[in-house]
Every structure is written in structure tokens, then in C-alpha cells.
Structure 1
Amino acid sequence: MTSNQNISKRKGALAFLALISAFPPLSTVLYLPALPQMVKALDTTQTSVNMTLSMFFLFYSVGLLFWGPLSEKFGRKPILLSGLTIYVFASVFCAFSQNVEQLIAGRIVQALGGSAGTVVATAIVKDLYSGREREKVMAIIMSMVIIAPMLAPVLGALLLKHTSWRTIFLMLAAIGATALLRSIFFQETLSGKFTGSVIGSWCRLFVVLKNPGFSSLLLIFSLAPVALMAFLASASYIYIDGFGLTEGQFGLFFAFNATCAMVGPTIYMRMRRHVEPKMIITGCFILMAVCGIVVSVFGHMSPWLLALSVGMVTMAAITVRVPGTHLMLEQQEEDSGSASALINFFAMFLGSMGMQLVTLWPGTLVMNLGYIQIGVGMVCCILWLLCHNRSFITQPPS
């Protein structure tokens, strides 16, 4: 660690960072089993309900650009407290929404507040760690974060047996309140604050984007989440409406997918001892394309085959996130808040586009998903092979 942080020892610090990093999966996966129910309860369409997903990710990404630079000027803690307060109140509003338009509006505000947690968490990792230790910490945090989507659909399905979808949003408010209380005891990690104006802090985003090493890697590693987000948007419809599974069975299938994601960072850190990260990244992109072919051709035949294939894509997408984020942060000596904002913004923004793309043709969701996975894997692999050895890419110390 490059500075002292006494949240409550190392494990407590990692758990705290995982908690504030977990708002995207928690705010999405927990209510995925309820999507078909919400279509009927709100007397609306599948496309409209899916807007609560895509709009969340879209405005979550916008919030990242808003909070990230501000965390360089005002510090990590004030931004975290402000964002989490907004998240809690917005979650309560979502719970009492009377129509889909109100729910979409509530999700937009919820996204803007929750984005503060993600951008601050990534910036804190850059503040506290460097080199191989940072890569290891990111892998640990990502593995811990994945526990949320592994348990969330099971918990969501259980809640739906006894309550309505509204209870799920009240639970999100409670989780946000827990994180907010925990943040009060957080010790500031930013040593040198930006001394310019607020507008000037936001302008640092463009300074970071002008770095060719950062921007090149940003494009590549921001495309990978598209395949993952497309699955999130279509999963409940494929498994529940398509294969006829119950909400509880869907939760178990989704938990398998989350398990694949959880082991990804662990596998990477073990392979890292014997295989160059460049080779691991290349292999993951190839795996995504190959599994996408399997999904598009055979995925509609069996939920088990689909789960296995999509699980491999998920594992690959999460695995490249560890070295990808580490590589991108290595390109920037300063402006870690802005770099963190851009890293998470483009992942969320492009991911939200994938969520909309997969549902454009509702009758062929499985095939749509497979095509997206093929395209993402191939494009990422080609771009990676073209630029990863270029001189403008700053290589991290081994």
C-alpha cells in the first residue's frame, strides 16, 4: 500500500471497497427475476421495463463522469457520502412508483447516486496500491463483488414468493444506507487535491483522453462488457419465458453464471504466474467469440448448454477486466479520479447499448446474444493484437 488506511484493517478495507463497487450488479441483478412480473403489474411492455435496465446503465455512466473529476477536487469521502445519500432516497422512490415512467425516472436518479461508489472505489485502489499488488487487490475486489450477482437473483426470487417487486427496491435502499453509514468512518485517501475550478476538474477528462495509450486500451476493454450486459438484459426472458423455468430455477442458473464470473479473477492471478497477461487477454477474447458461435447455433436447444456457453463468455469478460483496468491505470500518473470515471463510463455506456441491441428482435433473443458475443470477441481480439505492443502503451512493472 502506498498510504495508510485504517477503515478496520486490510480485510475490512477490501470488503468496504467491494461493497461500494457492487451497486451496479446489486441494483440490476436483484430485480431481474421480477422483470416479467413487473410487465404485468405496471401494465406495460417488455421494452418499457427493459428501459429501467438500460437507462440505469446509461445514467450510471454519466454519473461516473460527473463524480470522478469532482473526487479529485473535493476528495473521495465527500463524493461518496453525497452519492450514496442520493441512491438511498431514489431507491425508496422506485419502490413506490405507480407506473413505469416513474420507475424509469427513479432508476435514473438511483443510477446517478450509485455511480459515486464505483468511481471512488477504483480511484481508492489507485490511491492505495501500485504495481503487482494493485492487480492482486483488483482481482480480490472483483471476486468479492461477484458474490452479489451470485446470491442476488436467488434472494430476489425468494422475496417474490412472499412479497412484490417493490420490496426489492426497499432492500436496495437498506443496502445503500448500510454503505452510507460505513462511509462515515472512511479515512480520506487523496493526498493532493486538484486546486483548479470545478469546470477545470471536469476538463481533466479530456486531458486523460488525449493520452493515446489510455484511450487505445479504453476502447478495447470497454467493448468486452457489451457481451455481458446483453446477457443481463435478456436472461430472465430467455430462461423464464423461453425455456419455461420458474423464477427460483432462473435464480440458480443465474447463480451459475455469476460463479463463472467469480472464478475469473482467481484463474487470472494463478495463470499470471506462468503465462504473460497479453496471452491471457488474447485467449479470453478468442474464447468469447467461440462460445458466441455455440450460443447462436445451439443455445436455444437446452438451458444447460446455454448456461455453460454464456458462463464461459462471462468468465472471459470479467477476467480481462483485471489486467485491462490495471493497464489503463498504469497509463496515468495523475488524474486517477478522471481515469477511473472514463474506465467505468465507457464500460457502462457501451454495455447499455448492448442491452438495447439484444432486445431489438425479441423473438430471437438467444441468436441475438450469440451474434453479439461473436462480434465483441472478434473485434476486441483484432484491436488488441494491433496495438498492445505499440510504443505509446506504458507497460506495468512485472
Structure 2
Amino acid sequence: MNKTDIIEIAVTQKYLGSEGLVAFITLMNMFIPLSTDLYLPALPSMGMNLDSSAAIINLTLSAFFFFYAVGMLVWGPLSDKYGRKPILIVGSLIYLLSSIFCAVAVDAYLLILARAFQGIGAGGITAVSVAMVKDCFIGKKRDVILAITQSMSALAPMIAPIIGVFVIQYVGWRGTFWTLSIIAIGNLVLSLLYQETLKDHERNKGSILESMGRLIVVAQNKSFFFPAVIFALSAFPFMGYIAVSSYIYIDYFGLSQQAYSYFFAINAFISIAGPIIYVRYLRNFNKNAIAAGAFVLSIVSGILVMTIGSLSPVIFLLSFIIMSFTGSAIRPFSTNILFDQINGDTGSVSSLMGILFTVMGSCGMLIASMPWGNIVISLGAMIAIFSGISLVAWYVFMKSDIPCAGIKE
């Protein structure tokens, strides 16, 4: 895609420009990995600092994601009524203030509470960023933009732990939340410069209650909801990995925080290539085969983690990275397919996609954090089981008489 491809679609951004709009969407897509991965290296030490158990400290992750889902549930439909810009500004302000409260929290429970509000603010930012893609781009161009933004946003989990370790070493774990506060200020400035992309005739003219009710209307569309659930099942093992990765590398394998950040970054770096390879080599392949192949490879990844992942951190990384790569490769494909199932209600569509992924991811974090015994084997079992469920569910969906634009044609 060249510059003119973007300019033809995003001509309304007087201050950001077309490239600036794509960069802005990319930054907003980074909020979730930045909000979690930046302080992941400090999780083991935070428990000692705040005199709390690992299970309590891990609630800072699951609480964030649960209320992030709540935020998306509200902000997405409201953005269809009031526009994207007001929601962006409010979400950025909530995120900024809650990040400051995270930085000054005096115990684990206050930190969990502040993280909950941080999740609510992040929900508005993310719901709008996904909706903006559909507002501005169509067809194959949307595929390309999704690949660009999702690939570039994968830089966040690659560099966040490294930056986090650096910040933690000099100013402690609280410095990671001051860093997030600075990022929130930048996003707020860009939100003020952003010009509305939701056209007046596309807005929901009903009451707030009617706007929220559009979530139910969208969820009742089987062509959207069934594949959305299937694709969201991958959140169970992936977010489970996010919750326990520091314990695997630091406590189980005995690596330093710095070494852990490098292993985490390598996994994220490989994930960057997934959307790029999909757009360049797989976009014109059979969509059914692409999805099924990704689920099969994820099952293989889980089996490898279970059987040989405990041998060394390198072998664990190489085993798990298969799932990371395949999951990132089909993300532009799955997002675009889900968008194609619904005309209008873009904010509600974005919200439901995010909610499904986040709720399942939060459950995955809780499951992975339980004392199952060998932490590596239990994670591998999660990957294999939920990938297997996805594969079976996809097969059943493809055999059903439920239509699906872009696949069953």
C-alpha cells in the first residue's frame, strides 16, 4: 500500500494527516500490552513490597482486564451515538488519572482498585481505535491497515518489559505507572487533534438505553457472534501466558528480570511478523483453511510446551512461539471477517470483539495463576485444550447453515 491509498480514504485529518491517523490508531492499540507488560518484570517483587501473595498481585492484571471489558461494553455503543472523539477524550482522562493513582497506591488493594479504573479508561480508547479502522478503511485496504496497526502495536509487548526493567531498576515499580501517565498525556493530546471520523448520518439517534441495546442486536447475529467466540477462545492460553510468564522465566527457570524481558521481547518480535505474512502471502488463500491451520498449529504448540517446554527457557520459548505467531497471523483476517458480518453499529461490534477476548483472557489469567503444580505443563495443557476446542467449534460452524460473509461464499 502506498501513501495515496491512505490519503484517498483519510482526507479529513487536518492536524494528524493520513499517516498520523494510522500512527494514532497504532498507539491506541498499544495501550493494552503497555498497561500490562510494562510492569510484568516487577510482579514477583511487588508482592514482597506490598506484603501480598502472588495471587493477590495477579489480581492487578485480571481486575484491569475485567473492567477493561466493562469499559468497552459501555464506550463502544456510546461512540456510535456521540462520536469517537468525545469518548477518546474521556477515556484518556480516566486512564491518566487512574495511572497516577496506581503510581501512588499504598497497598495492593488500592492498586487493584486503581487498575480497575485504568481498565475502564483503556476500554474507551481501544473500542474507539478499532471502530476508527472501519470508519476510515474498506475492503482490502482495511486488511492492510489492520495488519500495519496490529504489527506495529506488537512492538509494545516487545519493548515494554525491557523499558519496564530499566525503569524498575532506577525508580522502582511505581515508575512504570508514571511512564503510563506520560503516555496517556500524549494520547490525550492526539485525541484533541483528531477530527471526528463517524459521519452524522451513521450515528445512533436513539436514547442512551437504545444505544446500549444495540449490543444485544449485534450479539444476536449468529454470523458475527459464533466466529467471534471461536476466535476469542485463543485469549485463554495467551493471556494465561501473560499472567505467569514472569514466574516461568524468573522463578521456574531462575532467570534475571533483564533476561526475562529479552525472552518476552523475542516472542513479541516474532508476533510482529504474523500479520505481515498474512497480508503478503496468505490473504488470497482459502479462509477456512487458514483458520483451521492456525488452530492445528496452536495445538501442536501446546503439546510441545507440555512435553519438552520444561527442559529450558529456550525450548519453552520455541515451543510457545508457534502459538504466538499463528495467533497474530490470523488477527487481521479474523477482525476483518467479523466487521464484514455487520452493517453499521461499528462501536458495538468493536466492543463485543474486545469484550469476548478480554473476558476469556481474564478467565485464562485466573486459571493459569492457580497452583496446578508444574506451571509450564499446565500452561501447555491450556494451549492444547482451548486450541482444540477452537478447532472443533470452527469445524462445526463451517458445517452449519449459518452464513458468513467472506468465508461461506
TM normalised by structure 2 equals 0.95
Shift of residue 275 of structure 1? 2.4
**Count of residue pairs the alignment pairs up:** 398
Measured after TM superposition, the shift of residue 274 of structure 1 is 5.2
Q: 1:22 aligns with which of 30, 33, 51?
A: 30
Residues 1:395 and 2:405 are matched in the alignment: yes
- Partner SS state of residue 294, structure 1: helix
Comparing 276-285 with 286-295, which one deviates more in the overlay? 276-285
The equivalent of 1:385 in structure 2 is 395
Name the CA shift for 1:116/1:350 in 2 (closer, same or farther; >3 Å). same
Per the TM alignment, residue 105 of structure 1 is displaced from its structure 2 partner at its CA by 0.2
Aligned pairs for 1:356-371 within 5 A: 356-361=366-371, 363-371=373-381
Q: Are 2:353 and 1:346 aligned?
A: no
Q: CA deviation at 1:343?
A: 0.3
- Give the residue type in structure 2 aligned to 1:53: L
Q: What is the distance in 1 between the residues matched to 2:227 and 2:372?
A: 33
* Preserved contact between residue 304 and residue 380 of structure 2 (Cα < 8 Å): yes
Tell me if 1:325 matches 2:335. Answer: yes
Which of 276, 279, 290 is residue 300 of structure 2 equivalent to? Answer: 290
Instruction: Give the superposition deviation at 1:185.
Output: 0.7
> How do 1:51-200 and structure 2 match up within 5 A?
51-191=59-199, 192-200=202-210
User: Comparing 246-255 with 13-22, which one deviates more in the overlay?
Assistant: 13-22
When the two chains are superposed, the root-mean-square deviation of aligned CA atoms in Å is 1.4
Pairing partner for 1:201 from 193, 204, 211: 211
Aligned partners of 2:61 and 2:12: how far apart in 1? Answer: 35
Does structure 2 conserve the Cα–Cα contact (< 8 Å) formed by 1:221 and 1:320? Answer: no
Q: Counterparts of 1:87 and 1:274 in 2: how far apart (Å)? A: 39
Helix, strand or coil at the partner of 1:190: coil
Q: State the shift of 1:3 in Å.
A: 5.7
The match for 1:237 is 247
Aligned 8 A contact 2:11 2:18 in 1: no
Residue 273 of structure 1: how far off its partner (Å): 4.8
Partner of 2:374, secondary structure, is helix
Q: In structure 2, what is the equivalent of residue 4 of structure 1?
A: 11
Aligned counterparts of 2:310 and 2:322: Cα–Cα separation in 1? 17
Compared CA separation, residues 390 and 187, structure 1 to 2 (3 A): farther
Letter in 1 for 2:120: L
> Which residue among 264, 268, 271 is the counterpart of 1:258?
268
1:253-272, Cα deviation, whole Å (9 max, x unpaired) = 00011012111101111222
Q: Which amino acid aligns with 1:247?
A: Q
Q: Which residue of 1 aligns with 2:57?
A: 49
**Unpaired runs of 5+ in structure 1?**
none
Q: Check the 8 A contact 1:230/1:354 in 2, yes or no.
A: yes
Measured in 2, the distance between the counterparts of 1:9 and 1:141 equals: 16
Q: Aligned residue for 2:46?
A: 38
Residue 391 of structure 1 deviates from its aligned partner by 4.7
Q: List per-residue Cα deviations over 1:257-306 (Å, max 9, x = no partner).
A: 10121111011112225522322211111011011001011111110010
- Secondary structure at 2:106's aligned position in 1? coil
Task: Provide the residue aligned with 2:5 in structure 1.
Answer: none
Q: What CA distance in whole angstroms lies between the structure 1 residues aligned with 2:180 and 2:46?
A: 17
Deviation per CA, 1:49-77: give whole Å up to 9, x if none: 00000111111011100100000010000
Contact between 1:292 and 1:372, CA under 8 Å: does it hold in 2?
yes
TM-score normalized by the length of structure 1: 0.97
- Superposed CA deviations along residues 69-119 of structure 1, whole A, max 9, x for unmatched, are 000010000000000000000000000000000000000000001111110
Q: How far off is 1:390 after superposition?
A: 4.6
Post-superposition Cα deviations, 1:235-259, rounded to whole Å, max 9, x if no partner, equal 0000001111000000000001101
Is the contact between residue 139 and residue 266 of structure 1 (CA under 8 Å) also seen in structure 2? yes
Q: 2: CA distance between counterparts of 1:32 and 1:184?
A: 31
**Preserved CA contact (<8 Å) 1:128 1:189:** yes
- Distance in 1 (CA, whole Å) between partners of 2:332 and 2:236 is 16
**Does the CA-based 8 Å contact 2:73-2:352 persist in structure 1?**
yes
Assess if the C-alpha contact under 8 Å between 1:119 and 1:344 holds in 2: yes
Q: Structure 1 residue runs of 4+, over 6 Å off?
A: none
Letter paired with 2:197: T
Secondary structure of 2:234's partner?
helix
Q: Which whole-Å CA distance do the structure 2 matches of 1:72 and 1:238 have between them?
A: 42
Are the equivalent residues in 1 in contact too, given 2:11–2:17 (CA < 8 A)?
no
Secondary structure of 1:300 counterpart: coil
1:267: which partner in 2?
277
